[in-house]
Amino acid sequence: RNGMGLRPLGTSAAEFEQDLLSNLYYRRGTTVESASTQDAYETLALTVRDRLAERRVRTAAAHYAANPRWVYYLSAEYLLGKQLEQNMLYSGTDRIARVAMKQLGLDPDEVEGLDIEPGLGNGGLGRLAACLLDAMATLDIPAVGYGIRYDLGIFKQAFKDGAQVEKPDDWTYQGNPWEFPAPDDQQTVFFYGHTERDENGRTQWIPGEIVLGEPSHMLVPGHGTDTVNIVRLWRARGSESSFDLSRFSAGQYAEAVDEAVHAENISKVLYPDDSTELGRELRLKQQYFLVSCSLRDIIRRFRLRNTDWAEFPKKTVIQLNDTHPTLAIPELMRLLVDEEGLGWDLAWALTKQTFAYTCHTLLPEALETWPVHMFERLLPRHLEIVYEINERFLAEVRDRFPGDVDRLRRMSIIQEEPERRVRMANLAVVGTQAVNGVAELHSQLLAETTLRDFADLWPTKFHNVTNGISPRRFIKLANPTLSSLITEGLGSDAWINDLDQLTGLERLTGDAAFREKWRAVKRANKVRLGLGDPDSLTDVMIKRFHEYKRQQLNLLHIITLYQRIKASPGRAYAPRTVLFAGKAAPAYHAAKHIIRLINAVAAVIDADPAVSPYLKVVFPPNYNVTLGSLIIPAADLSEQISLAGKEASGTGNMKLALNGALTIGTLDGANIEIRDRVGADNFFLFGLDTPAALELRHGGAYQPRAFYEQDEELRSALDAILDGKFLGVGREVAESLLGRDEYLTLADYRSYIDCQEQVEKAWADTEQWTTSSILNTARSGFFSADRTVRDYAAGIWHVSPVQVTR
Ligand code: DL6
């Protein structure tokens, strides 16, 4: 029996089979003879989950005993990926579960096929959150992720006549076996209303609306350790009184549930937009909902073992994943000052010590701001607090830079012109003890440009923590055959939790048999993906659609190749499959035009027998973690072609390099660090660097038309679009490039095309390519999320691991 007085769950296939049968019977109320596939799936999930639940209970006990400093990760988005395969691996049940299912006459692939991916995020930021949670658990760091349990995740993308259409993602339609409801920890959240001062001069917020936050959590197991942390997700509910029985009785059914529906809308849908401000008030409401529920929960947890508020920052670090949860800063002030009665100065010192902020962008339009009038209406007390924070902060700036009115205007948390707005990034910098960018270049540019005034004032507050990815998710699970080969080559699988060990592969670059197997694995992964000729160069661009990421540049290369093949049909072209995957924000029309044009070009090439043997464009819809995990292991070439100075970091670039793809890329984001590590010979570099791009863009002299006029191939590619050669689609794309060309696509065209020729030459030399591919994997250890978390732990969080013992 274990410490809980329970019989430990068995580790043999026979015992797992018994538990499957028992769960099928007692928790699904059926037998193996009459079970549906859904019954079998839910039962399998519960049987795996039970193994982790036991570790979870021990983890909670160990954490309680240690009373450690906790990391609370606040994020509006999580892209957790499918849970079943992960949890089978982490619980060590992957093999026995399959044996047991077969014993019961169940088809493991069919059963596992029912596992759903929770799509609670848009892109890089949400997936990063999931990778960091994975690494924190693996490194035994006591941590809780907080987020929103959106009813509808990121939309499902489909194509109609080549254009993106969006369908709702009702991801819990069949239930979610991975979730533990925790109704006892329900929280009450206020909105609207007004403030009053009581007889002691304390401020009281009299709310205009009250909503309930219902938590549930999913397990976040560590790999190779007994630690199981949690991610706690909040769902909005109307209060008991929100159902109007008298209206219902009078037949006014819609009106009767009006208030409840209104409340529940808060966690109804993830906003499918990660760069521009949409959804407005409801989005702000979501942010406060997340923050309010999470902070109360954090305080509840603190109080389990502590009484003295001075201890709070010693026991708590709250990492803000971008500005979305920044309202946590005024909310903690409100709780400490209004509810706990602390003086402002003490409350502010505690608050600042508690928070840290990660910025994920350089695009000014992606820095959130909220209209003051909206903020005031929804959160009247918080606006008062923000004003007070701002007044004291500006006094500090005035002291340091007397007479510098412009600086005050730029740094103020309140923007005055053209409209009064609350600047969330400024609030996040002012209210935290550490601010970090997510790649070296990004952190440098943040301090030199976007947040320069703040870096002048507080230089030591600014840090870099280069992003990382979970090796468990993005090589062990995604690429099992490569993982086996690496384990065979290195003689152990210890590299999975110590990715630097991959450097041991370098000595295998001289081993002919290993090289042969390396190529065979890549080929098999292309066959598994099933899109295009497995012997072709598989050229992959997988990411959100955004003009700064420049899918349009890739497209111009495809059109140029197409035209070259048409012009000289007799030559021997190396077959190439260009794969795109990614979603565009529904309201981002320019990005949607690019999607439509890619599909049109793909169709025209497919229909042209002179070209299709050499060139194929594929665009599987609905890019998500699951699809990415199939594409990444199959890639030969990774397209990381954003305009220098625009991509904060990128993490797809790391996943692809780790899986042996060579990068064609600009000196942007983490590409620079990837190139530094894998070696310039194993990376195809092109394009303007950041200073050159800034000069060209802001020197005011950039004329995209001049590039069009001078370069015959570029002209011909753009003319083909303008002449309607691709099903008449894409004029908007060409016109935008010839108009402003915000992201200097035409300026980088020639350099990119020439670089793609280098790629082609390199691809023709199979042996050299194989060496580069192995070296990309061997030298990508730095990009493990374990290293990222160690950097956060040492440089920002100052936390230590807590071991979970049996
Ligand atoms: O840090 C994770 C990820 C970076 O790798 C990408 O470069 C960056 O674009 C992305 N940002 C977002 C949303 N941005 N905001 N704000 O996903 O973060």
Same fold, 67-81+117-466 and 471-777: yes
CA-to-CA dists, residue 556 to 305, 319, 646, 665, 716, angstroms? 61, 41, 20, 15, 10
Question: Is 596 a residue whose pLDDT tops 60?
Answer: yes
Q: Is residue 160 flagged as an active site residue? A: no
Question: Is 258 a residue whose pLDDT tops 90?
Answer: no
Fold held by 67-81+117-466: Rossmann fold (3.40.50)
Distance, first Cα to last Cα, the chain: 11
Question: Is 744 a residue whose pLDDT tops 80?
Answer: yes
pLDDT band for 480, please (50, 70, 90 cuts): very high
pLDDT band for 352, please (50, 70, 90 cuts): very high
Task: Kindly state the helix (H) or strand (E) to which residue 616 belongs, with its residue range.
Answer: strand 615-618
Q: Is residue 543 flagged as an active site residue? A: yes
Ligand 1 center to residue 643 CA distance, Å? 15
Residue nearest to atom 5 of ligand 1 (CA): 650
pLDDT band for 570, please (50, 70, 90 cuts): confident
Residue tagged active-site, from 69, 543, 564, 616:
543
ipTM above 0.90, yes or no: yes
**Mean pLDDT along residues 748-765:** 98
Residue tagged active-site, from 421, 544, 550, 675:
544
Q: Name the residue of 154, 446, 546, 649 to mutate for ligand 1: max ligand atoms within 8 A of Cβ.
A: 649
Question: Is 275 a residue whose pLDDT tops 60?
Answer: no
Burial class of 207 by CB neighbour count within 10 A (0 to 12, 13 to 18, 19+): middle
Secondary structure (3-state) at 746: helix
- Closest atom of ligand 1 relative to the 77 alpha carbon: 17
Which pLDDT does position 1 carry in this prediction? 53
Contact status, residue 509 vs residue 515, Cβ threshold 8 Å: yes
Higher per-residue confidence, 351 vs 252: 351
Q: CB-based contacts of 557: which residues, under 8 Å, 6+ apart? A: 752, 753, 756
**Mean pLDDT along residues 30-38:** 96
Which pLDDT does position 4 carry in this prediction? 67
Q: Is residue 544 flagged as an active site residue? A: yes
Ligand 1 center to residue 562 CA distance, Å? 33
Ligand 1 contacts CB of residue 497 (under 6 A): no
Q: Name the residue of 125, 133, 324, 363 to mutate for ligand 1: max ligand atoms within 8 A of Cβ.
A: 125
- Closest atom of ligand 1 relative to the 126 alpha carbon: 17
Ligand 1 center to residue 134 CA distance, Å? 18
Ligand 1 center to residue 572 CA distance, Å? 40
pLDDT band for 671, please (50, 70, 90 cuts): very high
Ligand 1 center to residue 125 CA distance, Å? 5
Ligand 1 contacts CB of residue 368 (under 6 A): no
**Mean pLDDT along residues 3-12:** 79
Q: Using one digit for the tens of pLDDT, what is the confidence trace for 89-134?
A: 999 999 999 999 999 999 999 999 999 999 999 999 999 999 999 9
Contact status, residue 801 vs residue 143, Cβ threshold 8 Å: no
Residue nearest to atom 6 of ligand 1 (CA): 650
Ligand 1 contacts CB of residue 125 (under 6 A): yes
Q: Which segments of 355-422 does DSSP mark as H helices, in order? A: 372-378, 380-400, 405-411
Question: Is 278 a residue whose pLDDT tops 70?
Answer: no
Please state, for a pLDDT cut of 90, what percent of the chain lies above it.
Answer: 92
Residue nearest to atom 18 of ligand 1 (CA): 125
Which pLDDT does position 396 carry in this prediction? 98
Secondary structure (3-state) at 239: coil
Place of tokens 């159902």: 243
pLDDT band for 365, please (50, 70, 90 cuts): confident
Query: Closest Cα to residue 575, out of 620, 542, 605?
Result: 605
Q: Using one digit for the tens of pLDDT, what is the confidence trace for 530-564?
A: 999 999 999 999 999 999 999 999 999 999 999 99
Q: Is residue 549 flagged as an active site residue? A: yes
CATH C-level class of 471-777: alpha beta
- Closest atom of ligand 1 relative to the 669 alpha carbon: 7
Please state, for a pLDDT cut of 70, what percent of the chain lies above it.
Answer: 98
Which pLDDT does position 670 carry in this prediction? 98
Ligand 1 contacts CB of residue 671 (under 6 A): no
Integer Cα distance of 114 and 643 in angstroms: 40
- Closest atom of ligand 1 relative to the 442 alpha carbon: 7
Largest CA distance in the chain: 91
Please provide the DSSP assignment of 548-576 as one string: TTTHHHHHHHHHHHHHHHHH-TTS-PPPE
- Mean per-residue pLDDT over the chain, rounded: 96
Residue 418 preceded by cis peptide, ω within 30: yes
Sign of CA dihedral 400, 361, 660, 744: negative
Ligand 1 center to residue 128 CA distance, Å? 8
Structure tokens at 210: 């009250």
Integer Cα distance of 24 and 46 in angstroms: 9
Ligand 1 contacts CB of residue 704 (under 6 A): no
- Closest atom of ligand 1 relative to the 648 alpha carbon: 7
- Closest atom of ligand 1 relative to the 366 alpha carbon: 16
Q: Which amino acid is at 397?
A: V
**Mean pLDDT along residues 477-495:** 98
Residue tagged active-site, from 442, 515, 549, 557:
549
pLDDT band for 280, please (50, 70, 90 cuts): confident
Ligand 1 center to residue 765 CA distance, Å? 35
Structure tokens at 711: 């370069």
Q: What totals of helices (H) and strands (E) does the chain contain, helices first?
A: 34, 25
Ligand 1 contacts CB of residue 647 (under 6 A): yes
Contact status, residue 361 vs residue 648, Cβ threshold 8 Å: yes
CA-to-CA dists, residue 778 to 138, 662, 771, angstroms? 22, 12, 10
- Closest atom of ligand 1 relative to the 123 alpha carbon: 17
Phi-psi region of 100 (alpha: psi -120 to 50; beta: other; left: phi over 0): alpha
Q: Is residue 651 flagged as an active site residue? A: yes
Ligand 1 center to residue 196 CA distance, Å? 40
- Closest atom of ligand 1 relative to the 128 alpha carbon: 2
- Closest atom of ligand 1 relative to the 438 alpha carbon: 1
Query: Closest Cα to residue 786, out of 133, 188, 261?
Result: 133
Ligand 1 contacts CB of residue 648 (under 6 A): yes
Domain residue spans of the chain: 1-66+86-116, 67-81+117-466, 471-777
Ligand 1 contacts CB of residue 649 (under 6 A): yes
Which pLDDT does position 3 carry in this prediction? 62
Q: Which segments of 412-550 does DSSP mark as H helices, in order? A: 424-430, 440-445, 452-457, 471, 480-490, 512-529
**Other beta carbons less than 10 A from residue 1's beta carbon:** 7
Residue nearest to atom 12 of ligand 1 (CA): 125
Ligand 1 contacts CB of residue 669 (under 6 A): yes
Residue tagged active-site, from 651, 663, 771, 788:
651
Ligand 1 contacts CB of residue 362 (under 6 A): no
Ligand 1 contacts CB of residue 358 (under 6 A): no
- Predicted TM-score (pTM) of this structure: 0.98
Ligand 1 center to residue 274 CA distance, Å? 8
Integer Cα distance of 498 and 377 in angstroms: 50
Query: Closest Cα to residue 789, out of 9, 27, 143, 13?
Result: 143
Strand stretches in 161-208, DSSP E:
163-167, 179-181, 187-191, 194-197, 203-206
Query: Closest Cα to residue 338, out of 200, 186, 210, 191?
Result: 200
Ligand 1 center to residue 735 CA distance, Å? 28
Ligand 1 contacts CB of residue 274 (under 6 A): yes
Residue tagged active-site, from 564, 655, 675, 725:
655
**Mean pLDDT along residues 467-474:** 98
Q: Name the residue of 78, 360, 367, 668 to mutate for ligand 1: max ligand atoms within 8 A of Cβ.
A: 360
Sign of CA dihedral 381, 386, 387, 393: positive
Task: Kindly state the helix (H) or strand (E) to which residue 577 belongs, with its residue range.
Answer: strand 576-581
Ligand 1 contacts CB of residue 128 (under 6 A): yes
- Closest atom of ligand 1 relative to the 650 alpha carbon: 5
Query: Closest Cα to residue 437, out of 358, 502, 541, 516?
Result: 358
Ligand 1 contacts CB of residue 121 (under 6 A): no
